[in-house]
Chain A
Amino acid sequence: AQSVTQPDIHITVSEGASLELRCNYSYGATPYLFWYVQSPGQGLQLLLKYFSGDTLVQGIKGFEAEFKRSQSSFNLRKPSVHWSDAAEYFCAVGLYGNKLVFGAGTILRVKS
Chain B
Amino acid sequence: DADVTQTPRNRITKTGKRIMLECSQTKGHDRMYWYRQDPGLGLRLIYYSFDVKDINKGEISDGYSVSRQAQAKFSLSLESAIPNQTALYFCATSDLLRINEQFFGPGTRLTVL
Interface residues of A (CB under 8 A from B): 4, 9, 32, 34, 36, 41-46, 49, 51, 90, 94-95, 98-100, 102-105
Contact = CB atoms under 8 A, between A and B. Distances in A.
Contacts, number: 57
Interface of B: 4, 31, 33, 40-45, 48, 50, 58, 90, 92, 94, 96, 99-107
B90 A44 contact: yes
B100 A34 contact: yes
B102 A100 contact: yes
Pairs of residues from A and B, 10 with the lowest C-beta to C-beta distance, nearest first: A94-B100, A43-B104, A102-B42, A44-B104, A102-B43, A104-B42, A43-B106, A32-B100, A105-B42, A98-B94
B107 A90 contact: no
Contacts of A45: 104
